[in-house]
Amino acid sequence: MARYVIRRILVAFPTLLAVYTLVFLFIRVAPGDPAVAALGDYASAEAVQALRERMGLNTPLWVQYGATLLGYVRGDLGRSLITNISIGSQIAAVLPHTLELTFAGVLIGTIFGIPLGIIAAVHRNRLADYLSRVFSLAGISIPAFYLGILLILAFAVKLRWFPVMGAGDFSNPVENLRHLALPALALGIIMIAFVARMTRSCFLNVLREDYIRTARAKGLSERGVILLHSLRNALIPIAAVLGTQTALLIGDSVMTEIVFSRPGMGKLIVQAMLQRDYIALQSLIVVYASLVVVINLLTDLSYGVIDPRIRYE
Amino acid sequence: MKVRLLILGCWFLSIVATGQVLRIAFDAADLKTLDPHYAAATMDRAVVDMVFNGLVRYKPGDITVIEPDLALSWEVSEDGLIWTFYLRPGVSVHPFPGMPDGYELTSEDVVFSLIKAADPQRSAYAGEYTGMKFEAVDKYTVKIVLPQPISSALFLPKVANYSGGFIVPKRAYEELGPRFATNPVGTGPFRFKEYSPAQKVVLVRNEHYFRGTPKLEGVEIWYMPDVTARLSALLTGEVHVIEGVREQAWVEAVKRYPQVIVDVFGPGETEVLHINMTKRPFTDLRVRQAVAYAIDRNELVTAIGPDVAEPLCAAVPPYLPGGLTCAEVAERGLLYDVDLAKARELLAEAGYPEGFEISAYITERASYRKPFENIQAQLARVGIKLNITVVDHSSFHSLIRQDANPLVHYEAWRPSADAFLTRFYHSASRVVVGTKPDTNFSHVTDIDGLIEAARYELDTEKQIALWKEAQIKLLEEMASYPLYILKFVFCRSKSVDYGYELKSSLALYPSINELTTLK
């Protein structure tokens, strides 16, 4: 397995290099000047020119490309063109909040989505199935930010159970959870919908398998058939969906972070894009892509845990 | 009983203690810079306004009055070339790493700060100080020598609490280096405590503030780009002041909440349609005049709302010295009241009886896009087909500076008539081709003499007359069509008392100072 992991990590480098190259080119093709964005429209022309010089924007493109890449090799993500803050420190400050939110969303999606999918599959074409499918369809259809606004209005403005804004301090777990509850629910409901649909579909396939019929013929209880024989076999495609959705959820968290005024990677990426903060955008996307690579690797490794027959050659 | 009273007392004190931190939420995802000589966005200007002082300041809530700030008094030499400022003794610089007790601000700091403001490598506003020399006469006296005399109306804003006029303490700037941009150190009523990226900046009160200890314990500046979240947080009491939406419908909706006060205040930003006189068919005066007769500014004002917008009839808004009121413009017959028949007639005379088709970029921001779409509909009534391409804000600013648009809708605030006229209508400021390319989108070249004569005119009445004459020329050649002034909208909880009457604020937010309280 170690060789497999090393091989995957080695394959990740060209992937990340391709991501970096594409972002580097696309952001520079788009119109917009980081110096103007940083200084505002009242700044003098000399000041804009001086800042462009200081930002290194007047150096040849290949020099800019190489300098940033060299920084990555040294573990330096560079400094924001706009704020001059180290991007590494910015990411260190916000990444825990993004991971916390994503993890909470996935957790909610898994805890509620899998049972909901199983119930729907077991009670196929009955009321529970219909309700589950309606919920799933609604969950997939509603954008996370809109759901977030509805949750804010209901649970923060009307009921005053949860705060509207910010991310609680990690040193105060209760406060942290209060701040996390609504945004996690906004992402979690969408995740529940995806997971429930996938679980239902996988379960229906598994329930048709010969070994399930055999288990039932042996007189195994229905609960035993579902939990011992069906669930584990259905879990591999579910794990695949969970992996993909977790990566997507980091992207979905952009609007959730904005609606709930939480610090996070998504908010930084949008800000960097709007301000043409080339260095910050490149580094943030590379870090985001690295996260996706890691999540995909963990997802692939989880297959072996779920199904011991799978070997990593 | 005593124990109960003690517990009650502690509880009360804790309420008072936590209740005196004011939270203000801005329409922003994060800060850009807190170096006052670079800060330009509203959320950054707000922090800078609370942390720094100028030699003089605009009276809180009323930008038409200038009063002493770090300087107790000042005088100007007879030839108008030398301005001398006498500093307030005992002004304490906020503590910073290396000097945990701060130090006393002196003329050395003021001179350092002004030199920094005049240096394009360290300031965005260097152009305002070209040719000036700064000298520390003694510990509390600063002399500024000008290359040419200018009126006090033009000079004092350069040393006021705005942009380059904010005084940056020398030792703090040198100690912190590049970190100063996110760790500002000044002399203002509040001092910087911490910054949480993409979330908030925390300020605490400056116990040694020279105007007295601020009543608030601190201020938190939150970055909340979603307006629903800002309003929700205001309604739940999590924040006390929010940046609102500059639209009548939104203002009306929020006014219905009994616990909220909506403040609509000036100076506002001018909204002007610049007509590129070098692009056909706008090279023809008759076509430009046809555009003017086709546009109905009152319809635009009605669409945005009378509380937040008011008609603008000349390049410089009337609340600045040298600005023209709509009545003054009407007197000269240059109001260009909407007249579609005349517009069509002018187009026909110019050889466009069926109108023509043009394309322009506009930013996705509602305050630009919505009125521009309204103008699109108005021009269509006389056969001018305006194709609009919506782009993001950075792209828009870049494209219009590359001269991509025949018509440019621009939103701006400038602190003086000279700044408005120089930046938008001096030949040196022409985009792409000017010697100092800036925001002259119309490519005006024939009022340089008037702008420069007004700049160096010391007689206030004559200066104002020159500024007005320049604007009349602009209207005669219809280089740009002034649309309206868009005011600022902020909402606050009824518990917030700013401590002054809010009519206008140059910091572009309701200034929080030592007098502000939370009831």
Dihedral angle computed from the Cα positions of residues B222, B228, B232 and B238, in that order, rounded to the nearest 10 degrees: 0
> Which residues on chain B are in Cβ contact (under 8 Å) with A37?
394, 397
Q: With a cut of 80, say whether residue B483 has pLDDT above it.
A: yes
Q: Read off the tokens for A35.
A: 């110096």
Q: What is the pLDDT of residue B4?
A: 52
Quickly count: other Cβ atoms within 10 Å of residue A49's Cβ: 15
Contact status of A156 with chain B (Cβ, < 8 Å): yes
Dihedrals phi, psi of B496, to nearest 5 degrees = -95, 125
What is the C-alpha separation between A142 and A186, in angstroms, rounded?
Answer: 10
CA distances from A156 to A165, A258, A264, B27, B259 (A): 10, 16, 21, 20, 17
Mutate to test the interface with B, among A28, A41, A100 (most CBs of B within 10 A): A41
Helix (H) / strand (E) containing B359: strand B356-363
Q: Percent of chain B, pLDDT > 90? A: 77
In this structure, of A3-12, B112-121, B151-160, B406-415, the range with the lowest mean pLDDT score is A3-12
pLDDT tens for A176-232 read 999 999 999 998 988 898 889 888 888 888 888 888 888 888 888 888 888 777 887
Q: With a cut of 80, say whether residue A45 has pLDDT above it.
A: no
Q: With a cut of 70, say whether residue B224 has pLDDT above it.
A: yes
Q: What is the pLDDT of residue B15?
A: 41
Q: Read off the tokens for B420.
A: 């408005």
Contact B34, B182 (CB under 8 A): yes
Strand partners for B411: B271
pLDDT band at B379 (very low <50, low <70, confident <90, very high): very high
In this structure, of A244-248, B140-144, B469-473, the range with the lowest mean pLDDT score is A244-248
* CB within 8 Å: B123 and A82: no
Average pLDDT over residues B15-22: 62
pLDDT band at B1 (very low <50, low <70, confident <90, very high): very low
Strand partners for B205: B190
Dihedrals phi, psi of B355, to nearest 5 degrees = 85, -165
> Which residues on chain A are in Cβ contact (under 8 Å) with B393?
274
Walk me through the domains of chain B, giving residue ranges and CATH numbers. Answer: 20-240+495-518 (3.40.190.10), 269-487 (3.10.105.10)
What is the C-alpha separation between B229 and B25, in angstroms, rounded?
Answer: 10
* CB within 8 Å: B30 and A42: no
DSSP result, B397-431: HHHHHTT--SEEEEEE--SSHHHHHHHHH-GGGBT
* CB within 8 Å: A164 and B232: yes
Quickly count: other Cβ atoms within 10 Å of residue A127's Cβ: 8
The residue with tokens 């936590």 is B18
What is the C-alpha separation between A276 and A264, in angstroms, rounded?
Answer: 18
DSSP result, B72-138: EEEEE-TTS-EEEEEEPTTPBPPPBTTBTT--B--HHHHHHHHHHHT-TTT-TTGGGGTT-EEEEEE
What is the C-alpha separation between B266 and B254, in angstroms, rounded?
Answer: 19
Q: What is the pLDDT of residue A53?
A: 84
Contact status of A243 with chain B (Cβ, < 8 Å): no
Q: What is the pLDDT of residue B6?
A: 47
What is the C-alpha separation between B106 and B119, in angstroms, rounded?
Answer: 20
pLDDT tens for B53-75 read 999 999 998 888 899 999 999 99
Q: With a cut of 80, say whether residue A305 has pLDDT above it.
A: no
* CB within 8 Å: B120 and A33: no
Between residues B285 and A270, the one the model is more confident about: B285
The reply to whether ipTM tops 0.90 is no
User: Which of A164, A268, A37 is CA-nearest to residue B242?
Assistant: A164
* CB within 8 Å: B232 and A33: no
Q: With a cut of 90, say whether residue A312 has pLDDT above it.
A: no
| CATH 1.10.3720.10 residue spans of chain A | 92-306
Long-range contacts of A234-237 (CB under 8 A, 24+ apart): A234/A199, A234/A202, A234/A203, A234/A205, A234/A206, A235/A202, A235/A306, A236/A303, A236/A306, A236/A307, A237/A198, A237/A202
Strand partners for B430: B440
pLDDT band at B258 (very low <50, low <70, confident <90, very high): very high
Q: What is the pLDDT of residue A273?
A: 86
Contact B480, B442 (CB under 8 A): yes
> Which residues on chain B are in Cβ contact (under 8 Å) with A82?
32-33
Average pLDDT over residues B398-418: 92
From B201's Cα to the closest Cα of chain A, the distance in A is 12
What is the C-alpha separation between A208 and A204, in angstroms, rounded?
Answer: 7
What is the C-alpha separation between B482 and B272, in angstroms, rounded?
Answer: 4
What is the C-alpha separation between A255 and A185, in angstroms, rounded?
Answer: 14
What is the C-alpha separation between B92 and B99, in angstroms, rounded?
Answer: 12
pLDDT tens for B415-465 read 889 999 999 999 999 999 999 888 999 999 999 999 999 999 988 899 999
Mean pLDDT of the residues in chain B: 92
pTM here?
0.85
In this structure, of A45-54, A145-154, B208-217, the range with the lowest mean pLDDT score is A45-54
Average pLDDT over residues A151-159: 90
pLDDT tens for B32-41 read 899 999 998 8
Angle between helices A87-122 and A278-306 (to 10 degrees): 40
Dihedrals phi, psi of A185, to nearest 5 degrees = -65, -40
Fold of A92-306: MetI-like fold (1.10.3720)
Q: What is the pLDDT of residue A304?
A: 74
Half-sphere exposure of A55 (CA within 13 A, CB side): 27
* CB within 8 Å: B40 and A41: yes
Q: What is the pLDDT of residue B12?
A: 42
What is the C-alpha separation between A183 and A195, in angstroms, rounded?
Answer: 18
Average pLDDT over residues B215-242: 93
Interface of A with B in 222-241 (CB under 8 A): none
Q: What is the DSSP letter of B167?
A: P
Question: Which are the contacts of B260, defined by CB distance < 8 A and separation ≥ 6?
Answer: B234, B235, B254, B491, B492, B493, B494
User: Which of B59, B291, B69 is CA-nearest to residue B188?
Assistant: B69
Give the closest of A85, A156, A267 to B29, CB-based.
A267
Nearest CA in chain B to A166: B199
